[in-house]
Amino acid sequence: MKPVGARTVGTREQLGRLGPLWMFFFRYGPPRWSEYVLQNWSGQRLVIAIPYLWLLIFFLIPFLIVLKISFAEFLPLGRPPYAPVFQWVEEGAVQIKLWVTSFAFLMSEPLYVSSYVYSLKIALVSTIFCLLLGYPMAYAIARSSPTMRNLFLMLVILPFWTSFLLRVYAWIGLLKNDGVINNVLQFLGIIEEPLVMMNTSFAVYIGIVYSYLPFMILPLYSNLEKHDLTLLEAAQDLGAGPIKSFLRVTLPLSFPGIMAGSLLVFIPVVGEYVIPSLLGSKDETMIATLLWTEFYNNRNWPNASAVAIAMLLVLVVPIMIFQHFQNKELEAGRR
């Protein structure tokens, strides 16, 4: 057996290879620092700590900054354009000034309310269309042969190989008055005058469904591919037809995949900015466009931060539902 001192020296040599920062902690940190780190922050705990640290730095801290700005007083000529929330006064005391003006303005201004309602409407309708299109596609991919399955999955992922902005601009060339669709319809004699499709809600739905359809297909495929086909055979042996077997067996089992795909589409679509700006109408504004206007054009950072916080509060319920069904599906997979 190695003596204790030899093991400690070996530990020092290992920490020294990791860089001078580890040697600094080892020399000037708490007693037996290296032993504590190796025993308590290795393996599973270290793996879990890394994503938590990532969320702390890139989500929680920015969220707290935005939350602080949302309660600040707007100063149009200030740099930055808001008054400090926390301010040191005499005798080391801290003065806290919280203004709820921005949140009250959101509730009283009809433009903000209509923008939230319009954003939720666009997200809900787009999610329904993605589900109606994505479920049959995911079902066909899950029931196809392994060779064709890989080909179909590649075709679903293929649009991600090109720029998102370029794909949206491509729809402008298709939907405008002198675009490809109108030219083809006029050439075939189906229409006499060009159809007005650009700068409408129809164009926004087309762009969103096209862009977010893979986010519906992939979770549904992941769920449908795990189904036990013997359950369908048992249903047929009991006298159930194909439609009844689908409604009583396949559809209930795929419900976690439906919820996961729907929320993966619904949540980002509520805050979508690029597609409504390029394809939508100027008269119907989504909440992300309004946030951009408040932050960059009006330089009203407290109002913009309040809009962001309110949007996050609206999405808390769908995020919690998504988390619930994701945990449920993970538990079912472990069984």
pLDDT-flagged residues of the chain (< 50) = 1-10, 15-16
Domains of the chain: 105-334 (1.10.3720.10)
Which residues touch 75 (CB under 8 Å, ≥6 apart)? 81, 82, 83
Q: How many CB atoms lie within 10 A of CB 267?
A: 17
CB 217 within 8 A of CB 134: yes
Which residues touch 193 (CB under 8 Å, ≥6 apart)? none
Which residues touch 79 (CB under 8 Å, ≥6 apart)? none
Q: What is the pLDDT of residues 301-312, one digit of tens each?
A: 999 999 989 888
What confidence score (pLDDT) does residue 101 get?
87
Residue 85 sits at φ, ψ, to 5 deg, of -80, -45
Burial class of 294 by CB neighbour count within 10 A (0 to 12, 13 to 18, 19+): buried
What confidence score (pLDDT) does residue 29 get?
58
Cα 321 to chain center, whole Å?
Answer: 14
Report the candidate in 210, 121, 134, 128 with the shortest Cα–Cα distance to residue 169.
Answer: 210
pTM, full prediction? 0.78
- The greatest distance separating any two alpha carbons of the chain, rounded to the nearest whole angstrom, comes to 93
CA distance 99 to 110: 21
> What is the token pair recorded at 190?
């189906």
Write the DSSP symbol of residue 86: E
User: DSSP readout, 194-254?
Assistant: ----TTSHHHHHHHHHHHHHHHHHHHHHHHHTT--THHHHHHHHTT--HHHHIIIIIHHHT
Q: What is the pLDDT of residues 309-322, one digit of tens each?
A: 988 888 887 777 77
What confidence score (pLDDT) does residue 9 get?
42
User: DSSP readout, 25-65?
Assistant: HHHHSSTTHHHHHHHHSSTHHHHHHHHHHHHIIIIIHHHHH
User: DSSP readout, 101-139?
Assistant: HHHHHHHH-HHHHHHHHHHHHHHHHHHHHHHHHHHHHHH
